[in-house]
Structure 1
Amino acid sequence: MGPIEVTVLYADEAMLVLDKAAGLLSVPGRGEDKQDCLSTRVQRLYADALVVHRLDMATSGVMVMARNPAVQRSLNDAFASRAVTKRYVAVVDGIPAAPVEAWALIDLPIIVDWPNRPRRVIDHQLGKPSVTRWRVLSHNERDQTTRVELEPVTGRSHQLRVHMQAVGHSIVGDALYGSPLAHATADRLLLHACTLELIHPVTGQAMGFVSRAHF
């Protein structure tokens, strides 16, 4: 068994806030080769840690885990009721026409692309309501890429990746949704959960956590 590599941003008796590395599963997958994941590593350090939400394997950044079932239920309810604010930073392909720093809305329903799972697609008839706020932070004219900030209002799987592809600016390094060139431009998906804001499930205190993107 190798070293337990876990970055803990915050820990108390109720919850843990962690910084997940890109390329690491959030929870175990199917098969012996998919058992190494953030939740398993954390549970080797904090045996009472319980999963609350997930990040895609290719996505890095802030995640929270509960330390007892009551807190897990409370945090699950907070996520379900959109009382938790999550923001991401990403680098996308191309130069969007949107003005810098102005928030825009992507409101496009998403459904699983069953013949091509785990891909998701936009489907206006059958898709589940999916909303993302986004804004341009800066342009890189040389690389023809743009750094953006993303805030998922809903929490569909692959939502940010599907929505950015839908508006013509797929996330750089995205093997599922990016163009071959955008995928080949980076050795990882350039998507990072940079901030998470919530109300502490026990104390009621407003809390915010930040993780810097390494791209």
Structure 2
Amino acid sequence: MSIESTIVSQDKFLGDESDSRIIDEHVPAALAGQRVDRIVSLVADIPRAAAAALIEAGAVILDGVAVKAGKLKATEGQHLKVELAMLPKKQLPLPEPNLAVEIVYEDADVLVINKHAGIVVHPGAGNPTGTLVNAILAKYPEIANVGDPFRPGVVHRLDAGTTGLMMMARTSRAYDSLVDALSRRAVTRQYLALVWGHMSAVSGVIDAPLGRDQRDPTKMAVLRDGKVARTTYEVRKAFNVPVDCSLIKCGLETGRTHQIRVHLATLGHSVVGDVVYGGARSVLSSPRPMLHATSLQFTHPALGKEMNFTVELPQDFSAVLAKCSQRTD
């Protein structure tokens, strides 16, 4: 049983809707032996401190008994119930004018951004401030009323360690149109990735469903009953110095969490620098996963014209790539 399987109401709680949201779950094998406060944090997608506050308020029930201490470790099959009505209301993201953001394009309806490394897209567990959304709200306050109020304007995301192009909506009409375009797979997103090893074919399609890793819910994995996920790839360059590795272009036909990283790791070609999915090795050190969203194409939600954008590799990616070469002797 997955930890999402018996959550009542919405998957993400928003504002007053959290008053009716209850988590009613049996502890899966993947979380057996974990502290209760960590389990609550993972299942409810809240910071550990918020999980601790729920425990202190008597809102976490394990096998019918209120949990008194977050350090208590749960066992597989125990009945966990969490009353999220007792969770303090989430604070809406605030503008932070001191945060830098690189705007590639803007008009009255959309923004196109070149996201830098280490920037989380929107506030969430462990990242309440300092996100791209906080920076955007300082420059474009009207976005506060567009889409999800806790991630305003956001129609798709890049992982914190991934750089490159992403779009945001400035109006509700644009938001609805771009979300619909993404769901119809009418948005073209191309990435460059530096991966370990040499691909067995110069191009191909990785068609493997993805879902939460049953052994580690903070990760994604290929699962038989996961959500449809398709990634195209094409080898651009192959290197053998200082080690076998390849620069490949990837395209997203779907947009699942960690999709490119998991698909490539499943093939045995983890992204260089990806500590989560086996891509960190000393022979070619990297400050982050070498994954960059290099091009973006979509139909403008108001004008109806095709919009095309490209950005160069960031300096850190170029520096790692400069260490790689092909020796023929």
Q: TM-score, normalised by structure 1?
A: 0.92
- Match in the other structure for 2:233: 134
Instruction: Return the index of the structure with the highest Cα Rg.
Output: 2
Contact 1:174 1:182 survives alignment (8 Å): no
Unaligned runs of 5+ in 2: 1-95, 144-152, 318-329
- Match in the other structure for 2:59: none
User: Counterparts of 2:211 and 2:283 in 1: how far apart (Å)?
Assistant: 23
- Deviation per CA, 1:147-167, whole angstroms, max 9, x where unpaired? 000001111101100000111
- Match in the other structure for 1:205: 305
Q: Secondary structure at the match of 1:48?
A: helix
User: Counterparts of 2:181 and 2:283 in 1: how far apart (Å)?
Assistant: 34
- The offset of 1:55, in angstroms, is 0.7
- CA, structure 1 residues 188+199, in 2 after alignment: closer, same or farther (shift >3 Å)? same
- Match in the other structure for 1:26: 121
Alignment-mate amino acid for residue 309 of structure 2: F
- State the Cα RMSD in Å: 1.7
Within a 5 Å distance, the mapping from 1:37-186 to structure 2 comes to 37-49=131-143, 50-99=153-202, 103-124=203-224, 126-143=225-242, 144-181=244-281, 185-186=285-286
- CA, structure 1 residues 193+199, in 2 after alignment: closer, same or farther (shift >3 Å)? same
Contact 2:239 2:245 survives alignment (8 Å): yes
Alignment-mate amino acid for residue 3 of structure 1: N
User: Counterparts of 2:282 and 2:246 in 1: how far apart (Å)?
Assistant: 12
Q: TM-score, normalised by structure 2?
A: 0.61
User: Counterparts of 1:76 and 1:2 in 2: how far apart (Å)?
Assistant: 27
Tell me the matched-pair count: 210
Return the structure number with greater helix share: 2
User: Counterparts of 1:111 and 1:48 in 2: how far apart (Å)?
Assistant: 34
Return the structure number with greater strand share: 1
- CA, structure 1 residues 182+212, in 2 after alignment: closer, same or farther (shift >3 Å)? farther
- The offset of 1:48, in angstroms, is 2.0
Unaligned runs of 5+ in 1: none
Q: Secondary structure at the match of 1:54?
A: coil
Q: How many percent identity over aligned positions?
A: 35
- If asked which structure has higher relative contact order (CA below 8 Å, sep 6+), I would say 1
